[in-house]
Amino acid sequence: MLSKHVRTSVFFAVAVAALLLLPACGGGGDDADADAAAPSPAVTLAEAYTELVAGTSTSPQGWPAWTAPAGNPAVGGVTCVSSEVYHLHALVSIYKNGVRQGLPDNVGRSGCTYELHTHDVTGVVHIETDVAKKFTLGQFFALWSQPLGTNNTAGLPGPIRFYLIENDKLAPLTGDPAQLELSAHREIVITSGPPPATLPKYRWPSNL
């Protein structure tokens, strides 16, 4: 039978060995959890203004031209304009690996002019209706016939992140992006891949 001194030494050696093994056994799981819970990359809003049209008109067009549905039916509650009484503009900015992508010109302007539509690659979404109405980002994407989600937005891979720029303030968007209202001079920023470290702060022209 082992002496009390020997038994104590053996117990101490086993305990130390077990402690040394803990990081090796548990490290992989902890790292995986940390990666999964990693925060979104830090993004800030520029201090100085960039003129909206000058800063967006050269964005490379990232998607093919829009094709109108046959017969110009209502799409997601968006119909052809009957008269322009109510007119405002929102901005949709989509970044792929830090590069701003130009939206197709004339989304919603073929055969008829829909209540939501674009004129060019700037990302300005024109809202024109006969009476005041509320429209959402989801309705615009439905008209554009593109997916909108955290894993795939307009064919770009996830993770997709959403930000809101309004009243010279930047905030990450939580919740369902499809429900976000398109309102006057509100910019919705969508990023796929590494976002820009600093997002432009656009100055809207007087005619928009």
Omega before residue 73 within 30° of 0, cis? no
The pLDDT tens digits for 30-45 are: 333 333 334 567 899 9
Strands 44-51 and 156-157: unpaired
Tell whether the model's pLDDT for residue 102 goes beyond 60: yes
Structure confidence at residue 27 (pLDDT): 36
| pLDDT at res. 38 | 43
pLDDT band of residue 54 (cuts 50, 70, 90) is very high
Inter-residue contact 51 to 116 (CB < 8 Å): no
For 95-111, what is the mean pLDDT?
Answer: 95
Lowest mean pLDDT among 19-28, 122-131, 179-188: 19-28
For 29, other C-beta atoms within 10 Å of its C-beta total: 9
Average pLDDT over residues 16-24: 37
Query: pLDDT at residue 26 above 50?
Result: no
Query: Is it the case that residue 172 has pLDDT exceeding 80?
Result: yes
Using the predicted structure, report yes or no on whether residue 12 has a pLDDT greater than 70: no
Q: Which residue has the higher pLDDT, 1 or 173?
A: 173
Structural element, H or E, at residue 44: strand 44-51
Tokens coding 76: 């997601």
Determine how β-strand 44-51 pairs with β-strand 198-203: parallel
What is the SS3 string spanning 109-176?
EECEEECEECCCCCCEEEEEECCCCCCEHHHHHHHHCCCCCCCEECCEECCEEEEEEECCEEEECCCC
Mean pLDDT, the chain, whole residue set: 85
Report residue 178 as tokens.
């499809």
Closest CA to 144 of 159, 123, 167: 123
pLDDT category at 23 given cuts 50, 70, 90 is: very low
Residue spans per domain, the chain: 1-38, 44-203
Helix, strand, coil % over all residues of the chain, rounded to 5: 25, 35, 45
- In the structure, what pLDDT confidence band is assigned to residue 22 with cuts at 50, 70 and 90? very low
pLDDT value at position 41? 74
Residue 57 reports pLDDT greater than 60: yes
Residues 6+ apart with CB under 8 A from 131: 85, 86
- Asked if 148 and 140 touch (Cβ cutoff 8 Å), the reply is no
pLDDT of 109: 95
In this prediction, residue 39 carries a pLDDT of 52
Residue linked to tokens 């909206």 = 52
Entry pTM:
0.81
Torsion region of 144: left, alpha or beta (phi above 0 gives left; psi -120 to 50 gives alpha)? alpha
- Per the CB < 8 A criterion, the answer to whether 189 and 199 are in contact is yes
